[in-house]
Chain A
């Protein structure tokens, strides 16, 4: 079945460091891929998405490229800030509307230290 695997955390970085959070997926067909972010005490927010191979999603300095050949959607940011400290979830969905087919990874906690 469909699934998402992302690197375990926590990830601890100093401010202005480069961030990569790995995400790989298993799915038939052509899923849409997402990164959601959960700040402390809040619900999940969409960070970025990509709907087809080679698409790059970007937002708030974060980027992820849909790589079908490696079934990956790694999240990157060139220079993290303390305010980026949060839990990041990779997710996928396929357009089969009559049942749930939205799959989340287990989340990666990012701690950014000043």
Chain B
């Protein structure tokens, strides 16, 4: 079946502009995660959605970052007034969070954001 998809695959923007990054999780997956990966670095957790619960936003680096998840499926990560330090690959992952394979996260290919 289809995996996690993200769009766009690449985004180049100018400093100060707003950007929206989209994630389509695997159908039926109730949990959705956003991570940021700077060049040559590990994963930085940003935000976690689980079903209808309030999202865990503890990883968002500033109030310029926000995310929403509509209808328990598609998620959009928005970065307002982008800065050069926001340049990174933004990864989305989903999981079922149920028994069996519920612990496993399935990752999308990422969106590479470049802020000039």
Binding site for B on A (CB under 8 A): 32, 34, 36, 42-46, 49, 51, 89, 93, 95, 97-100, 102, 104-107
Contacts and interface: CB of A to CB of B under 8 A. Distances in A.
Given A43-B107, A49-B104, A97-B97, A104 B42 contact: yes
Between A42, A51, A102, A105, the greatest number of chain B beta carbons within 10 A of the residue's beta carbon is seen for A102
B91 interface: yes
A110 to B, nearest CB: 14
Nearest to A95: B103
Interface residues of B, number: 25
B72 to A, nearest CB: 14
Nearest to A44: B107
B106 A97 contact: no
Contact of A100 (B58, B106, B107, B109): B58
A77 B82 CA distance: 42
B107 A98 contact: no
A43 B91 contact: yes
